[in-house]
Amino acid sequence: MPHVITQACCADASCVHACPVNCIHPTPDEPDFATAEMLYIDPVSCVDCGACVGACPVGAIVPHTALAPEQQDFLGINEALTGTDRPARPQARVPTLVRLGPTRTTLRVAVVGAGPAALYAADELLRQPGVEVTVFDRLPVPHGLARHGVAPDHTDTRAVADLFTAIEDQPGFTYRLGVNIGEDVTTEELAAHHHAVVYATGAGTDRPLDIPGVDLPGSTSATQVVGWYNDHPDHADAHVPLDHERAVIVGNGNVALDVARILATDPERLAGTSIARHALEALRGSRVREVVVLGRRGPEHAAFTLPELVGLAARDDIDLRIDAPGGIDPAAATTRQGRLKLEYLARIAARSHDTADGPPQTPPRRRIILRFRTAPLEVTGSSRAEGLRVARTELATGADGRVHAVPRPDSEETIAAGLVLGSVGYRGVEVPGVPFDPETSTIPHRGGRVLDGVGGRELPGLYVVGWIKRGPRGFIGSNKTCARETVNALLADANEGRLPTPGPAARFEELLRSRRPAPATV
């Protein structure tokens, strides 16, 4: 009876190292780990020991006989992803953690940011004796995108908070929430009072759409809508008009699918989740009945993951349609997971075609259309967003030698909509006093050590982890491997005496109280 990894997989690889027979792939030391959309279990090698079940922080692994109806497709997906090109080691290698040598003083580390990368880094540090970690965040609550970025109906993924609680309960861990590093306390002051500072500030804003009309009311970013329904303090008052029957989302990553699904879900189905009360009440009065999700390129370039697509397609209360002029060709995929995604899209397209030819649905379901090869040109409207002017696209090689999706002549149309959302990616934000690369929106580094500029020299005692280190890619658990690399660099520097000597901890506490009299600690 093999076990199966399902949609909620966060890819933190705890299950990999718990498995005694190396049947879970890809492992962190395999080349496709960084790009895989999900881990999977080889059903032939699995011995049904159940060790992975307890190791998974989000409850994503179940015996195949316990799969819910909407999870049944994952049995075939796990089997199809299994290949014969995996190493035959009896157990996956456990990454080495540098050990902190004997020290006469407590190693004090500040971590800036309180999301998954920050907490994984804190966990790695606190495995060492004689280490204290203080986690700072400008928000009054921790956990970053794990709290404010995961859709409220993804309850299994949100269960990763239980893992974070275990990290927070370790001796030597302290929060200082509601403290904005770079404003309340300068980065120089923070560094002067700690042996090391780890920046884990993530990618806290969106990449804007560069088309006319984006400043009209009703045109905003999917990031804002996610923050709005997840009660993010910065977005709780966002203007999200739901008075038109159609919304359009530009971009087709997992965030776009999350937002589309929330907009198309019966609000009463969301009532028992963690959704913000103000968002739930607004959705109860929503007139939105169709959400169009646009991708500039074809299905082979879709940014959403296979697990997210499977989960959406399993919803019997949502009418999922595919609009892919030119068809869907699984042979266009360059990876095994990509081929499975295209095959699954083709099945959905065939199913939706059959449904369209059948009798009307009673009652009519809300609809999501995944529309490919379509570029946004302009948000239309006078005093507010009333639609999106678009054009079909074709691929062309530009002067830079790169292939681009360009609008096709005479293919323009306007999609009527009262809500237009951009969902073309996150980007990092500069922290005052910390080197920043505006080209990649990341902090320049070498193996997690912060540099004074791209390709520059290492700055002693300064480190970086997470999306602000590598860009907005990967999943919650991807930060675990990233944190191990950074913490290993920090511990190696500590062992070799390369960390600065900080000022007294009591002096920093006095400074902090003078600037922020009552920072939150939990």
- Residue located via tokens 């070799």: 496
Of all residues in the chain, the percent with pLDDT exceeding 90 is 71
The DSSP call for residue 103 is: -
Contact 470, 463 (CB under 8 A): no
Confidence of residue 376 (pLDDT cuts 50, 70, 90): very high
Contact 489, 21 (CB under 8 A): no
- Cα distances from 435 to residues 43, 440, 468, in angstroms, run 47, 12, 11
For 285-334, the DSSP string reads T----EEEEE-SS-GGG--S-HHHHHHHHT-TTEEEEEE-TT---GGG-S
Confidence of residue 95 (pLDDT cuts 50, 70, 90): low
pTM score, two decimals? 0.91
User: pLDDT per residue over 169-220, tens digit each?
Assistant: 999 999 999 999 999 999 999 999 999 999 999 998 888 899 999 999 999 9
Strands 24-25 and 40-41: antiparallel
User: pLDDT per residue over 333-356, tens digit each?
Assistant: 988 899 999 999 999 999 876 665
User: Span 115-135, mean pLDDT?
Assistant: 96
- Residue located via tokens 């059959």: 354
Torsion-angle region of 51 (φ positive above 0: left; ψ -120 to 50: alpha; else: beta): alpha
User: Span 354-367, mean pLDDT?
Assistant: 70
User: pLDDT per residue over 423-444, tens digit each?
Assistant: 998 999 999 999 999 999 999 9
Joined tokens for residue 1 = 């009876």
- Residue located via tokens 């971590």: 111
Contact 423, 255 (CB under 8 A): yes
pLDDT value of residue 354: 60
Confidence of residue 381 (pLDDT cuts 50, 70, 90): very high
Helical H segments across 358-390, by residue range: none
Confidence of residue 155 (pLDDT cuts 50, 70, 90): confident
Contact 425, 418 (CB under 8 A): no
Helices 306-313 & 336-357, crossing angle to 10 degrees? 20
Given a cut of 70, is residue 360 above it in pLDDT?
no
Confidence of residue 322 (pLDDT cuts 50, 70, 90): very high
Given a cut of 90, is residue 114 above it in pLDDT?
yes
Mean pLDDT score of the chain, rounded to an integer?
91
The DSSP call for residue 361 is: P
Report CA dihedral (328, 334, 336, 337) to the nearest 10 degrees.
-70
pLDDT value of residue 219: 97
C-alpha span between 522 and 520 (Å, rounded): 6
Of all residues in the chain, the percent with pLDDT exceeding 70 is 94
Q: Which helix (H) or strand (E) holds 3?
A: strand 3-5
C-alpha span between 123 and 177 (Å, rounded): 18
Confidence of residue 162 (pLDDT cuts 50, 70, 90): confident
Contact 223, 385 (CB under 8 A): no
Joined tokens for residue 179 = 């403290």
Q: How many CA atoms lie within 13 A of 298 on its CB side?
A: 16
pLDDT value of residue 220: 97
User: Span 214-240, mean pLDDT?
Assistant: 95
Which of the pair, 476 or 368, is modelled with greater confidence? 368
- Candidates 298, 291, 333, 281; CA nearest to 315 is 291
Joined tokens for residue 505 = 């901890």
Given a cut of 60, is residue 91 above it in pLDDT?
no
pLDDT value of residue 33: 84
- Cα distances from 179 to residues 182, 186, 325, 508, in angstroms, run 9, 11, 50, 13
C-alpha span between 216 and 382 (Å, rounded): 8
Given a cut of 60, is residue 224 above it in pLDDT?
yes
Given a cut of 60, is residue 90 above it in pLDDT?
no
pLDDT value of residue 191: 98
Confidence of residue 265 (pLDDT cuts 50, 70, 90): very high
Given a cut of 70, is residue 266 above it in pLDDT?
yes
User: pLDDT per residue over 3-61, tens digit each?
Assistant: 999 877 888 888 988 888 889 998 888 888 878 888 999 998 898 888 998 888 888 99
Residue 62 forms beta bridges with which residues? 4
CA 439, 441, 447 angle in degrees (round to 5)? Answer: 100
